Amino acid sequence: MVADLREKNAVIENKNRENEELLLNVLPAPIANRLRGGEERIADGFADVTVAFADLVGFTELSSNLPPQDVVRLLNGLFTRFDAAAQELGIEKIKTVGDAYMAVCGLPEPCSDHAERMVRMAIRMIHISREHALEHNTSLKLRVGINSGSVVAGVIGKSKYIYDLWGDTVNLASRMESAGVPDSVQVTRTVYDQLQGQFVFEARGAIDVKGKGKVETWLLRL
């Protein structure tokens, strides 16, 4: 009887551990802790963070000519290396959508050097993507856009959680990526003003950004 109870308790503990690991795989640890503590609606405002979007130029065309297994293997190999770099630099991966990768620094735990960390992450991502392209004999190039500012962050869903970001800062970061240059990192003035003494940037001039009109941008010299 006692042995049976111990076995059942061990099974329950293992299941709880597995559930906790799954939760931590989709949510930042502080957010997962708040959910476990019974908080039902998680929504926070952050005044100063840095958001990045990255996209693989040419992936859609390439993937149409590859077997499904090769498409997933190619993306998984690259994004797994991005994830490792993000963890090392204290970057929070938000999500991937197709061949796009979204990340943020400065939340859920604020930090003063979020812009610097994110630019270092972008540099690492460009180098990783170059190595990955050589290893797999592809011509894929990464395009990265970065912006700093305020965001709203929160958890959406019940059966399938997602921690996501909203706001003008996010939208402009996305525009920096889509209007960027392959194999380059494009940043806004808010990023440039914070880091011009730490990194070398080249003024790209004002470009047309959907919903924004003319926006000044800079390209990071890699």
- Interatomic CA distance for residues 136 and 128, integer angstroms: 12
Asked if the 42-220 domain carries CATH number 3.40.605.10, the reply is no
R_g over Cα of the chain: 20
| Pick from 186, 102, 200, 93: nearest CA to 144 | 186
pLDDT of residue 12: 47
**pLDDT attached to residue 101:** 97
How far apart are the C-alpha atoms of 2 and 24, rounded to whole Å? Answer: 33
Cα–Cα nearest to 27, from 159, 165, 170, 162: 162
H or E stretch at 100: strand 100-105
Report how far residue 93's alpha carbon sits from residue 69's, in angstroms, rounded to the nearest whole number.
24
Quote the pLDDT of residue 24: 55
Give the SS3 label for residue 91.
Answer: coil
- State the pLDDT at residue 18: 47
Instruction: Check residue 22 and give its pLDDT.
Output: 54
Cα–Cα dist 132/187, whole Å: 24
Q: What are the φ and ψ backbone dihedral angles of 81, each rounded to 5 degrees?
A: -70, -35
Q: Which pLDDT value is given to residue 31?
A: 83
Tokens of 212: 């924004």
What pTM, to 2 d.p., does this model score? 0.87
Domain boundaries in the chain?
1-40, 42-220
Task: Please tell me the predicted confidence (pLDDT) of residue 125.
Answer: 98
pLDDT tens-digit profile of 164-200?
999 999 999 999 999 999 999 999 999 999 999 999 9
Residue ranges, the chain, pLDDT below 50: 9-12, 15-16, 18
